[in-house]
Structure 1
Amino acid sequence: MVERVYHPIRVELFISAKHLKNKDTFSKSDTFCVVSLQQGNSTYFEEVGRTEVQHDCLDPRWSKTIQVDYFFQQRQPITFTILDHDDSSPDKIGHVHTTLGELVGKGDSSLDISQGGTLHIHVEEVRSGSDSFRIRFRGIKLAKKDYFGLSDPYFIVSKSVAPGEWRQLYKSETIKETLDPIWESFELTEQELCNCDRNRLIKLECYDWDSIGSDEMIGIFEVPASSILVRGAKFEIFDPNNREHGGTIEITDATAKKNMTFIDYLRAGVQISMSVAIDFTASNEECTNPHSLHHIGGHEPNHYEKVIYEIAGILEGYDTDKYIPVYGFGGVPQGSHQANHCFALSFDESKPYALGARGVIDLYRNALNHITFSGPTVLAQILQKFIAAASSTPPQSVYHILLILTDGAINDMDHTVKEIVSASELPASIIIVGIGKAVFDNMEVLDGDHGTLTDIYGKKASRDIVQFVPLRKLTGPGQLAYEVLKEVPNQLVSYMKKNNYQPHAPGHSHH
């Protein structure tokens, strides 16, 4: 399996403020903003940029923007410190603490400054040739190269990489017996076509295919990339060896196609809605036992709480209402006499929600003493509940993530696979975190990294939506969130593209 490299997304922060507190006695403050980010696993904030100074201004719109690397799978605390420029030492006007994820999720944020005033942050993705073009050529009255029939033309498109050096970008199909071929369209990103430099030379070579000897040149042309992006443009081609006219090539299609990114979908108002499912099977051991995976004692959170805090703490930033449904499975809830494999931790099925990561942990702690641990470990009912929720919202508006925390291998593998295959058609991802020291061999199968998940009826998952991670393999701070969330942006984009959901133009957020 090829290991995918997860590059950060470069984002640009546009910063302005209103109603800043004045620090100067005889004039208005000379204001600027310093941006600091907590990088990786560091506990320190590191300055990543500062704006210019706006003189005599308490409502600054700073023109200097700040660019930073954004990772969906990391919690990235960020601080904006507003200062009054002074020759001796700057006076602090106020500050704002938030996370980069919150800013990216909203697109436009208005935040209260600690000592008065409002800070406004607008975030845009820094694009680097991610848009693509669909290009189509046709030949008109191409030169006849065969004695006993018409030509069999095809073309090759190349870009200049150094003087006299070309790199092939695309080779067309051969169309038999014609001097007026209409070739299939092809797609290239702007980066592939010209490295985002539209003055870069592009060469088209047209050949007559020959089944016996070598293919014969019909003609070529060389033009800047910008010229082949004009629909209806025509170019005469000539054989470079003898300058014979080889006919005309016309561009019949040059459609710009915006390659939608994760941030484009967020900007269009797509919400990420999270659900949590927690394992209450007997193998966890009763929570009064100090060795229990559910044990609450001392100042340290237990393993379940650590995972909830780390994952929900990131995902809640992308959900405007922050209401998270929380379910239990494998336990006997109060008032019941048998194991329930999908029950609300609030014990109110009509209101299974907690508010944010902190609320999930509070709900979990309150419920612990009212659940008898039982079994077996089955996930199908939890998945059915999740599928019902994911099916009930507009597919282009909400992307659903289910976080399942379990301490052992599952006992209903066939049913679980069947439900996951069904869920693969929906705007949904499933994250399974293995808690404790159990052997999770059969969980690895669900991950889809070793082949497409297929149910017992032969139906295949339409895309890979499961990420399984055993907690014991992850020790460093932030490592868990990185491992379980790194696939989510690609999974969301792949779902939207597969279903041809086009977001509105960036900037038209629904927030």
Structure 2
Amino acid sequence: MAACVSRVELSVACRSLLDGDLSSTSDPLCVLLQDAGYGRWAELDHKEKVKNCQDPEFCKKLVVDYYFEKVWKLKFGVYDIDNKSFDLNDDDYLGGIECTLGQVVSSSVFTRLLELKQEKPAGKGAITDFLGKLDQFLEFDKQSNRAGAWQLLHRAEVIKNNLNPCWRKFSCSLQTFCGGDFNKPIKVQFANHDSDGSHDLIGTLEMTLAHMQTADAGSLVEYECIHPEKKQKKNSYKNSGITRIKSCKQYFILLIITDGEITDLDQTRQTIVNVSKLPMFIIIVGVGEANFKAMEFLDGDNGVLKSVTGEPAAWDIVQFVPFQQFKNAPREALSQMVLAEVPKQLAAMNGRGGPPETARYQGDRDSG
């Protein structure tokens, strides 16, 4: 099984920083580094520069991967930026702290005094880390007719402040989802929602409907959520979370066109009762002058259909329409009658937790 990882979002603020400039107030910038071993530190990310401020509240969020079973040593360094160089060695060091990511995660507000070096305080300077959780949403894309192009087919709701979101199930037609091709790639993108529209990509994955459906056969269906840039830049990168498919079911419509009477009514009743537990609907169109009383009985409009032994159908899944009544009616009248009960039945089954659950997805971690 792929390693599970949570993604945490850190907000940083500083108070009473040293004044590194002679003629003006410092222009602080906060850098987040990770212990790379052998006394070396590797930069993970950095905050924006705040001009002329000794009590900055940085706007940019620091997003890091958190592995519960590992100890990640971090270092927050604050510098006074006086030039456009990316090299921090020519900037004044205003102080920093060393800690573990676990210490930050275990505290909703993590505050420490800044140090210029070990046990040497940086004046009264302090740094505070606010642990935030991601406001996640996901999008499903399918391949369009153009080579390499993707087309949005569904956008899920935003789940706020949750590292382990479980999105609501949704339904769509097989044609819309994958064009009827069970092996057609479907791309899922996970992002952290920002109100200004500048959403941050968490990661992506690709799946097929054929593989997703194995979730209903008892198989554990999981996908690694991968951030392509992080995978390219970091040798130690594994994933940005695990996405687990909880359920993926299709809703079938069986269309029967008949010109005769049922000769095995009892067996047919039992079969309909048995399949009424499945995500399907049976439409029977009677053609000709035959006696269709048995078909009307199977329709169940006058009461719940039961088997010979008295077992009731889980749902009313049969709709009978006599073609003779629509012989002189507009063409669309027959189709409207044939499909009239399908939306109502599908909505009822979904609302009561019934079988026709097209897809339900759970992000096992922050990304999915």
Fold agreement, TM-score > 0.5: no
For normalisation by structure 1, the TM-score amounts to: 0.31
TM-score, normalization: structure 2?
Answer: 0.41
